[in-house]
Amino acid sequence: MGFLCSVLKFAALLLVVLVSMRANAQAPNSSRSLDAVLQDYAYRAFVRPRTGVIYDASVPETIYGVKLSVVRLRSGSLRARGVQFYEFQFPPGVRGWPYVERLALVYQNLVNWSSFYYHVPGHTLVSPVLGILAYEASNLTATNLPELNVAATMRPISVNFSSTTIPSGLTAKCVRFDLNGSLEYSNLSAPNTCSTLKQGHFSLVVESIAPVSAPSPAPSEVPPSPPPNQVPAPGGVESQGKSSSKLWKVTVGSVVGGFVVVAGLAICAIALLRLKRKSQLAAMEQQADQGEALRVSEIGSTKAPAAIGTRTQPILETEYVA
């Protein structure tokens, strides 16, 4: 019984830990915390790292749909030859400081989560927010790394939003979200193409023509709807259904497991109480058996217990009269 109770207590502790981990796994509540989470998950993709190879990384289920990739480069190679990394074209002459021998470029495509993490007053996003951030790549297990400063010195970096369709009659602008929270607007350098001299997050916006709607629900309840004319993530509907089904199963399993553990602990407590009562009764019986024993006297041919005489002899009442 004691072993069973120990197992049930361990199961209860494990359930509490899992619930705590699940509570801490909520979606990041700011763009900077999101960058830190994505840097961590991007570096996990470096199982067998090779320089110049693009690795696609997974993301937490709480921000399902975000596309995350990473590539490790030599600083000298990036400066001499540049690199094409999805929508980003780095020309020769791009430098990073402070200087590191190897750096990692982390690519982000926030897809349906763009409008949740980034807002442009008076404007509406018409493309997903694309991000490119550089980190030191000497330690591929490090987390919470600070971003390196990356800038173009010869020709600007281009960001191509070729899959985005601008609504008819509206003029799109480029917007750059700096790491310090500031916004930089610029005109398109080519159809659906933005130019920049620095790293950061980028999107296409148009002036808002509709009143601002009520705040959307938290991402843990209902994922944000995609911006107009945005191409959904590959396998979006089917994958989202699978993810929701998986989350539902985990939740139901946690609830059922909690009831089982509570019931087991209750049974264990009742059993311990019964065992304690039995132990007390056994101790009382043993104590009674170990009391003063009666002497055995012979009466004829029969032996029988007989009580010893009392210490104080009885006195008649008449004896108290003087």
Question: How do residues 67-126 score in pLDDT, each as one tens digit?
Answer: 999 999 999 999 999 999 999 999 999 999 999 999 999 999 999 999 999 999 999 999
117 within domain boundaries: yes
Number of domains in the chain: 1
Domain that holds residue 220: 28-231
| Residues 132/107, Cβ–Cβ less than 8 Å | yes
Q: What is the pLDDT of residue 29?
A: 81
Helix (H, G, I), strand (E, B) or coil at 234: coil
Count Cα neighbours of 183 within 13 Å in the Cβ-side half-sphere: 14
113 within domain boundaries: yes
Structure tokens at 154: 């010869």
CATH number, domain at 167? 2.60.220
Helix (H, G, I), strand (E, B) or coil at 51: coil
Q: Which residue has the tokens 């480029």?
A: 174
- What Å distances lie between residue 73 and 70, 105, 136, 213, 319, CA to CA? 10, 8, 10, 43, 119
Nearest to 107 by CA among 228, 199, 229: 199
305 within domain boundaries: no
239 within domain boundaries: no
CA 70 to chain centre: 21
Gap between the Cα atoms of 133 and 140, Å rounded = 15
- What Å distances lie between residue 58 and 12, 35, 65, 218, CA to CA? 31, 14, 10, 22
Nearest to 227 by CA among 114, 76, 138, 314: 114
Q: What is the pLDDT of residue 304?
A: 67
Gap between the Cα atoms of 85 and 70, Å rounded = 9
pLDDT tens digit at each of 322 positions of the chain:
555 566 555 555 555 445 444 434 456 889 999 999 999 999 999 998 999 999 999 999 999 999 999 999 999 999 999 999 999 999 999 999 999 999 999 999 999 999 999 999 999 999 999 999 999 999 999 999 999 999 999 999 999 999 999 999 999 999 999 999 999 999 999 999 999 999 999 999 999 865 444 444 444 444 454 444 443 343 443 344 444 455 566 666 776 777 777 777 878 788 888 888 888 777 776 766 665 555 666 776 676 666 665 556 666 666 655 5
Structure tokens at 47: 């199982």
Q: How many residues does the chain have?
A: 322
Please list, in sequence order, all residues whose beta carbon lies within 8 angstroms of the beta carbon of residue 115, skipping any fewer than 6 positions away.
125, 216, 224, 227
313 within domain boundaries: no
217 within domain boundaries: yes
Gap between the Cα atoms of 307 and 212, Å rounded = 101
Gap between the Cα atoms of 72 and 45, Å rounded = 11
E-assigned strands of the chain?
Answer: 54-57, 67-74, 83-85, 88-90, 94-97, 102-109, 123-125, 130-136, 149-152, 157-160, 173-177, 183-186, 193-196, 200-207, 295-299, 302-306
| Residues 223/112, Cβ–Cβ less than 8 Å | yes
Q: What is the pLDDT of residue 234?
A: 39
273 within domain boundaries: no
Q: How many CB atoms lie within 10 A of CB 1?
A: 11
257 within domain boundaries: no
